[in-house]
Structure 1
């Protein structure tokens, strides 16, 4: 039986082995909370664009994470942050023009009815706040998430993040549904996923609970990247809204032009979300996140407890966020994600056609999932093959990570500035890795 993998164990150094030098130093400082990429961790010293440089001088093409969304050390973002931190940085209790300028620029990208934005420091905080707002707005307490979802690490959000659990079970107020792929729903992904969500609501009712929200990352990143067909998510969202619940669109990973065909993942599905959360790519590496909500929903929540975040929405974060929006627009990065992403996906599909250990290539823009399998059994995910491919690509100077229920999906999400030549470099490294 294929083993289910916990998200922090994927492509990670086993801290039980201990270590010396920089690894030992990190373990001594963080202890059991240490999480390091790769079975042989890399000490990084610099990065630019889509490239990172290790202490030993090795240059790596970074396809691993979408935090530096417009490119590592982007000069526009660097200049904005440097100028602002040298001028003023404080909390949200003062009027600082750059903060409201950023909020207005961000709101121009969002549905008009989501006119209140609360800025936080992390996607975890944003999702935690969204869940609390949803409970207050609906009077419900139950949440529906996918089986391998990851939404953050506060106490409440961890309860709604099945992939974060190493042991134990989810609380009664959380019900899971299979990820929206053909393995679970066949050809009718939209109908099958909607019926699964309706069954989850029925299960909450059986437990004596009312649904507060469907909380879903709109490209299902941790589940293994499920983007198509566009529109499949809408019937499930409509079912939840018809039952009095909300849809929280977790855009922490798919947002900010990554899908190429839309600025937000939910836009690809024609959805009007009730709450949108965002994070990682907002500040291109500067920690910032946020939640957008309807004024009536936020006002109802604030009648009970209010909300304040000392560092959320500080002027330096606002300057970073404004610079990111500027770069996406001026450099045409959404269109670049669409065009270069389509080229990358086509190249990976061409490799897959001649590689029996590649089961499927999925995704949109510069967010692609590649399922790896046992060479003689495409229906059986193979985490060991995945680890070998990841290590081989590292040896070829390319960084990539894993996702999915079984840790057998390559999670392809390079910076939005990726060039066609860099995409070709990745394809070449992938072809070599799966040929070993």
Structure 2
């Protein structure tokens, strides 16, 4: 709103209606005109002028709350209302253009807290001040404060409407994640929380400081009747904004508040999410104003700080903050620091198959996921560098909402018509070469590989399958028979008669190395050898199957020209070429959407798994019309939950996120940045023998000697355990178990990369 009152006009109005002789100076204002006025004796006031858009009832509420506080134990801590010569707290001024309302308050001395260096004592004073105020307002009420305003945390989810105005995908995802957490963690208990008449905006410009302590609070324009704890959450938010240690600042605020006006454990447990909620309202509002072309600096005054704090907040395990607040208030802790997992492990061993292994010497109990972060039950945060099934990030808000909403409507089998099935099939095949046009949906990559082999055998009328040595294709009976990683290992049943192992095309330690321009063709010749041997026995080949970058085989990119030569030989022999994209597809390799595109080939069948549903049990087989027709031999193929509406909605959401957030390009840029950093570490640390990969499919092979290539085992296990202690979850792979496996969720960013490289450098230096 624009006001045309001049300083001279204000001087005259105050003389006429208040009997004061003053000078006036205009101050900046958000929704009202503000003037600093002073008389010759040094007495000072602030004159506030509101227009017709401001509710007279709410202006009355602002006056009444200050008058109520003036009669309480907090007298002198707040502005005092100065009444006019008619003893009215609000003066009405009618002009030909509009009706205006004047209020005059005493001036509070002090600096805004944003201009001073925060200390623990200052933050405690901030909390104590608000606690005293809220305690004094226990018996205050005003009907005008029962209102709907954007800045009431009770309306946090309204911010979803402004999410489209955030242009940066990473920031939009972050805000949407925290809004999802508000819905999940706060709303179910929201109705149980105490409600009160609160200031609702104790920010770093409204809080005044003198001599290292809070001396005043101004601007009651955002007052509202809402949950009491919101007042504390807002104070914590602004205390954290510029603090060197944001959580320490918030804890000091909460402790100070609690000592003045006790909180409940339920209230303190929600503060993590309420701080995030306030930040989300702030950043989405700024984004909306920017989209509307606003040049009002007040619309963006905390935007950068809010994004910085949101980015920091997701790195804090919510349990850690809840524990800190509970400790500050003397409540029962939520974390048992001394607890071990003896009982849980015993139960697991008693009722879960013992050949299901657990990662790390000291097991982790993970209780929450947040995009590229995992939180354990001890309050620790881990950067996830290996969980590629959660392709677009743990608990990605778009995927979660799609799954939730469809699950709330319908989930059933595919004998009924449903749009989701054909919608997803159409969108999926649009990412593939035109010849791959028929979809079959399953519940896992293992099941999909099993189906792909069945289809190839129908088509080729043969049984024999060629795989790569050390390959892994799943846990079904057929998939295990295709997996040397399993059937050649301890407890394995050995190579089946109809499975044939071709050389692992490893250009680091195989017979043909990276310096051989014909390595691809030479490795492919081993497949020719197998085909020729089968022919001599009067047998043919049903299929050749391989991952388009080798995972368990050692995080190995295929040599140039390898698949082109192999596919030509297999097709000439009447076989089917199967690309296992379970760990590789959906943009992970960066330079292409599918791994087989890196080899400039088109398979007959593509198998999709882990990333397709972001951890939801969904997988697929996509094939040519000819292969599909051969499989359609009269025996019905039916999969009860393959292609169900919930899975299809989830798959659609994953594709939407990959596209809208530009995750393939992100994987290319950030993955290249990551590998460049690893190569710099290779120059420094002789234990790194090789760095390889594409996009976010990365391997670093550790060796004791770069000539003999002796694997650095158990050194690599020491590295993985040390990195876990530093908050990074890595794993090992490869036939010799000496390759660091790095396949993070696609939202992993450069800041995560820099942090990992720094810590890895330190760990390697300590070996």
TM range (shorter): over 0.9
CA distance in 2, matches of 1:208, 1:159: 22
- 1:395–1:203 distance in 2 versus 1, CA, 3 Å: farther
> Which one of 398, 405, 422 corresponds to residue 100 of structure 1?
422
Cα distance in 2 for partners of 1:237, 1:380 equals: 33
| TM superposition shift of 1:378 | 5.2
CA displacement at 1:140 relative to structure 2: 1.6
Deviations 1:51-93 (A, max 9, x none): 1001111101101220111111000001100100001111111
CA distance in 1, matches of 2:343, 2:519: 49
Change (3 A) 1:50 1:171: same
State how far apart, in whole Å, the 2-side matches of 1:189 and 1:376 are. Answer: 20
- Within 1, Cα distance between the matches of 2:669 and 2:561? 21
Q: Structure 1 residue 161 and structure 2 residue 486: aligned?
A: no
Give 1:173's match in structure 2, choosing from 498, 502, 506. Answer: 498
What pairs up with 1:6-405 in 2 under 5 angstroms? Answer: 20-165=342-487, 166=490, 167-182=492-507, 183-184=509-510, 185-186=512-513, 187=516, 188-227=518-557, 229-303=559-633, 305-375=635-705, 379-405=709-735
Whole-angstrom distance in 2 between the partners of 1:35 and 1:416: 26
Cα distance in 1, alignment partners of residues 618 and 537 from structure 2:
37
Unaligned runs of 5+ in 1: 1-18
Q: 1:306–1:295: structure 2 CA closer, same or farther, 3 Å change rule?
A: farther
For residues 123-178 of structure 1, the C-alpha deviation after alignment (integer angstroms, 9 at most, x for no partner) is 00100000011011011211111111000111111001011132331111111122
Q: For residues 114 and 373 of structure 1, do their structure 2 counterparts lie closer, same or farther at Cα, with a shift above 3 Å needed?
A: same
8 A contact 1:173–1:209 mirrored in 2:
no
Counterparts of 1:295 and 1:157 in 2: how far apart (Å)? 24
Q: Distance in 2 between matches of 1:397 and 1:377?
A: 33
Deviations 1:315-362 (A, max 9, x none): 111111000000000000000000000000000010011111111000
Partner residue in 1 for 2:266: none
In the other structure, the counterpart of 1:421 is: 751
Unaligned runs of 5+ in 2: 1-340
Q: Distance in 2 between matches of 1:306 and 1:355?
A: 57
Q: Aligned in 2, Cα 1:207/1:63: closer, same or farther, shift over 3 Å?
A: farther
Aligned-residue CA RMSD (Å): 1.5
Residue 193 of structure 2 aligns with which residue?
none
Corresponding residue of 1:431: 761
**Aligned-pair distance for 1:204?**
3.1
For each residue in 1:80-125, what CA deviation from the matched residue of structure 2 results, as whole angstroms up to 9, or x when unmatched? 0010000111111111112211111001011212211000000001
Contact kept? 2:543, 2:578, Cα under 8 Å: yes
Any idea what the Cα deviations from partners look like across 1:9-58, whole Å, max 9, x if unmatched?
xxxxxxxxxx8222222121213232221222110000111110011111
CA contact under 8 A between 2:689 and 2:706: conserved in structure 1? no
2:742 is matched with which residue: 399, 409, 412? Answer: 412
Give the SS at the match of 2:602: coil
For 2:584 and 2:363, the matched residues in 1 are separated by 27
231-240 or 314-323: bigger deviation: 231-240
Name the structure, 1 or 2, with higher relative contact order (CA <8 Å, separation 6+). 1
CA contact (8 A) 1:356 1:378 kept: no
How far off its partner does 1:207 sit?
4.9
